[in-house]
Structure 1
């Protein structure tokens, strides 16, 4: 059973029903479920599937051996088959077998970036066989897949040679949202309320591979302790493995991610360039930032009301959790109650506010839907005063609407309903006033509170707040 992935399944169904050959590229971070999606979808269809998987750091010889094993399994009833000496030879055998079928044939090259070792000639062979044969065979569906989004985008999607403009469908597989996470956990017998699921999500994200370790009958805190902090945790060394599986120079990417993580509100490109000491002229900083964006670790944005000046923010929940809670504890011997103890400390609420804001920013469609408004764009805004007489201000989420109005959202994570008292009301008024003054916005402003536990009614909330979004709203369909 495939949980969620409705858009992706619609695209795959369209490709399956096509009367022409289809070339599909699917990419997404490690452990996100790319292989599962392709296998499960085509398993339920009337078609022949050839599935070959690349070996991480495998030599050309080992890659060809594995490819031969896949050929043997699919077409020769597992009879011994000698490995080809080159990808040209291997693809010749594959093409001869594919040509025998009139029904749909899916050629699934999984973890293609690993398969394509240096100077192996594999991309050129894909180019040759697609353009000379498979593109003319209406029963062929070629699917290439990998965690290294940057490689697939540069070598396949934006190929400047024979594969230029040949891809018919590209799918970027993202983590589950909160609703999909809830449905996935239910399918595995895990019965937790939305608050517990949010706690898991802020630590593990919507990554199916991580979520499969959640055990029924345990609280979110107990599961996090068991999955991440216990001695024999299944995610031991996952942080390093995550980057090593995607990037040749993993340490450089980890260093860059750590620099970005230090500024929870985001860091400007110019500041990042100065701190990282990487030249944009040489392309190293630009390339690494692009790679991290494409693999879903960070996001690039330009603050609202600006036309230029890129900022970068870390958005991967597991990486955020690791850098905040795990990295500093690696050398310590932790007790079996470590995370339960940490989750009751003030530092937990400081981190959870940051983590909840990141979750909300991934669920803006649900927020807009719950408010029943039409939005033209979303963003965030921050004013850093240069004069001592001025006050700084930050707006977590701005929804620029299509009806000459703007919705300003304040995001709060608390265990109890959030309470707006006189002091906080003044803070909100000053924030809105500063925003209007510095941006010269003349649209109608509406204030919405996004609070995980709702909003306590006070005379100030009744006077100022135009809408409330709760955690349950984030679990709704887009």
Structure 2
């Protein structure tokens, strides 16, 4: 358990599962490479008595053969065990094996890549439903953990099941990539000591995905690491994009189309704008598609101020996807030094601003803590004003506070102190004036600058900037 980095909220759920006086059916889902299997194996190391992992595109015969081998391993037998004829027989064997153990202590049965076990006409899911409903759910010492990366299948067949697993889940965990704090901890554990600006650059390119971070090498700078992983022939992230989406979603082309549309529109798109941009049909299938992308952590809906959920603005929130589509997909240059050249262009400068905004949006709790309002009830939202004539305005993050204040957050990425000049000061003032006029709010408006190294004090900051949040605040707990 000491090997686990971060995952505080998830650990709390798992501790509750372990202490529960009743049987527990736990589902963990999320994008691949995010550490679902590692979390279960690490936390339940002492309680895990049986584990079976599904194999992609394997038929029922192959999966059942793997079941018999896993059963032999669980029994500590060197001899092969007869392969069950079907999944009904397999679950009966599992029941016979687990019963004497459960009379003595808590035990965990773990099914990894659960959707892959349910191959076409295998009968796996119906047999599992019977196993849980007729026996496992009656065993107070039993925890059954199921895990899967195939988001479409897990959400439809398990989380929102209308069949035998309807309302049977006792807990669920949507596992997301590491935060900045967890990323820093993970790198230190692997003896990789980078300053926070370097870590932030790495995070903007690949996010907090443990499997990607594991590829970083001691003694490499952020630029060297990105160069090697993204722009060399055998770099892990040079070809990861298509594999990532096709392993997670059925009919992944539609999901990829949505992701690409959002990558082209950093300010975000509404549901109707996504439908128009991707030539989708308005209805349940589009709602499910968007839900799958949200649940997997690729896109995030933001609720505009005083609007209902159907007016949500969707943004691409997966750092790797944003980076891949901007710099890797159509890159003509590869090899050593590629990223050193690309990261000095104006294209990188504009992209880094959007990437930093996305990271800030994932660390709103840290921003609230830095502002000293963690204990104040706050509604987080966005705001967009697009008049038919004249200049519009957009606020990507505003904190509507119960203490009669609205914090307007402006997020700016820079490798030094950020300097507000005359033109930008006028732009900020216009945005504040437009927001007050259009929202008709009577609350005080506090402009909070969220930057890497802080805001340089000058004549334009006085009376304009009320609060500052820095990169360090995003890393701190």
Q: Per the shorter chain, which TM-score range?
A: over 0.9
Pairing of 1:105-144 with structure 2 (within 5 A): 105-144=107-146
Provide the C-alpha distance between the structure 1 equivalents of 2:229 and 2:178, rounded to a whole number of angstroms: 19
Provide the C-alpha distance between the structure 1 equivalents of 2:463 and 2:20, rounded to a whole number of angstroms: 57
Q: Which residue of the other structure, out of 35, 38, 42, is the alignment partner of 2:37? A: 35
Report the equivalent of 2:337. 337
- Could you list the per-position Cα deviations for residues 293-314 of structure 1 after superposition, in whole angstroms to 9, with x for gaps in the alignment? 1111111233223224233211
Pairing of 1:196-235 with structure 2 (within 5 A): 196-235=198-237
Provide the C-alpha distance between the structure 1 equivalents of 2:415 and 2:238, rounded to a whole number of angstroms: 30
Provide the C-alpha distance between the structure 2 equivalents of 1:105 and 1:137, rounded to a whole number of angstroms: 10
Residue pair 2:22, 2:141 contacting (<8 A) in 1 also:
yes
Report the equivalent of 1:451. 451
Provide the C-alpha distance between the structure 1 equivalents of 2:451 and 2:171, rounded to a whole number of angstroms: 38
Residue pair 1:150, 1:294 contacting (<8 A) in 2 also:
no
Residue pair 2:59, 2:120 contacting (<8 A) in 1 also:
no
Shift of 1:48: 4.1
Report the equivalent of 1:363. 363
| 2:308 corresponds to 1:303 | no
Provide the C-alpha distance between the structure 2 equivalents of 1:416 and 1:237, rounded to a whole number of angstroms: 33
Provide the C-alpha distance between the structure 2 equivalents of 1:172 and 1:267, rounded to a whole number of angstroms: 24
Equivalent pairs, count: 470
Provide the C-alpha distance between the structure 1 equivalents of 2:370 and 2:228, rounded to a whole number of angstroms: 35
Residue pair 2:155, 2:292 contacting (<8 A) in 1 also:
no
Name the stretch that deviates more: 60-69 or 310-319: 60-69
Report the equivalent of 1:291. 292
Shift of 1:366: 0.1
Residue pair 2:421, 2:460 contacting (<8 A) in 1 also:
yes
Residue pair 2:114, 2:147 contacting (<8 A) in 1 also:
yes
Name the stretch that deviates more: 405-414 or 70-79: 70-79
Q: Which residue of the other structure, out of 182, 185, 188, is the alignment partner of 1:183? A: 185
Report the equivalent of 2:410. 410
Provide the C-alpha distance between the structure 2 equivalents of 1:279 and 1:149, rounded to a whole number of angstroms: 21
Provide the C-alpha distance between the structure 1 equivalents of 2:392 and 2:311, rounded to a whole number of angstroms: 19
Shift of 1:125: 1.5
Q: Which residue of the other structure, out of 373, 381, 384, is the alignment partner of 2:383? A: 381
Provide the C-alpha distance between the structure 1 equivalents of 2:288 and 2:121, rounded to a whole number of angstroms: 21
Provide the C-alpha distance between the structure 1 equivalents of 2:346 and 2:334, rounded to a whole number of angstroms: 19
Provide the C-alpha distance between the structure 2 equivalents of 1:295 and 1:18, rounded to a whole number of angstroms: 28
Shift of 1:56: 1.3
Shift of 1:191: 0.4
SS in 1 for 2:395: strand
Per the alignment, do residues 429 and 235 of structure 1 end up closer, same or farther by CA in structure 2, a change over 3 Å counting? closer
Provide the C-alpha distance between the structure 1 equivalents of 2:422 and 2:312, rounded to a whole number of angstroms: 36
Shift of 1:103: 2.0
SS in 2 for 1:370: helix
Provide the C-alpha distance between the structure 2 equivalents of 1:359 and 1:309, rounded to a whole number of angstroms: 23
Report the equivalent of 2:400. 400
Report the equivalent of 2:470. 470
- Using the size of structure 1 for normalisation, the TM-score is 0.95
Shift of 1:228: 1.4
Report the equivalent of 1:276. 278
Report the equivalent of 2:461. 461
- Could you list the per-position Cα deviations for residues 247-296 of structure 1 after superposition, in whole angstroms to 9, with x for gaps in the alignment? 12222221221122211111121122123222124x33222111111111
Name the stretch that deviates more: 235-244 or 222-231: 235-244
Provide the C-alpha distance between the structure 2 equivalents of 1:236 and 1:392, rounded to a whole number of angstroms: 38
- Could you list the per-position Cα deviations for residues 185-204 of structure 1 after superposition, in whole angstroms to 9, with x for gaps in the alignment? 00000000000000000011
Residue pair 1:268, 1:310 contacting (<8 A) in 2 also:
yes
Provide the C-alpha distance between the structure 2 equivalents of 1:48 and 1:460, rounded to a whole number of angstroms: 61
Provide the C-alpha distance between the structure 2 equivalents of 1:301 and 1:200, rounded to a whole number of angstroms: 25
Provide the C-alpha distance between the structure 2 equivalents of 1:149 and 1:221, rounded to a whole number of angstroms: 32
Report the equivalent of 1:251. 253
Residue pair 2:380, 2:400 contacting (<8 A) in 1 also:
yes
Provide the C-alpha distance between the structure 2 equivalents of 1:468 and 1:38, rounded to a whole number of angstroms: 39
Provide the C-alpha distance between the structure 2 equivalents of 1:48 and 1:379, rounded to a whole number of angstroms: 42
Report the equivalent of 2:262. 260
Q: Which residue of the other structure, out of 125, 132, 150, is the alignment partner of 2:152? A: 150
Structure 1 unmatched runs, 5+: none
- Could you list the per-position Cα deviations for residues 286-343 of structure 1 after superposition, in whole angstroms to 9, with x for gaps in the alignment? 22111111111111233223224233211001111111110011xx352310001111
SS in 2 for 1:378: strand
Shift of 1:32: 0.4
Residue pair 2:232, 2:238 contacting (<8 A) in 1 also:
no
Residue pair 1:25, 1:170 contacting (<8 A) in 2 also:
yes
Report the equivalent of 1:81. 81
Name the stretch that deviates more: 189-198 or 284-293: 284-293
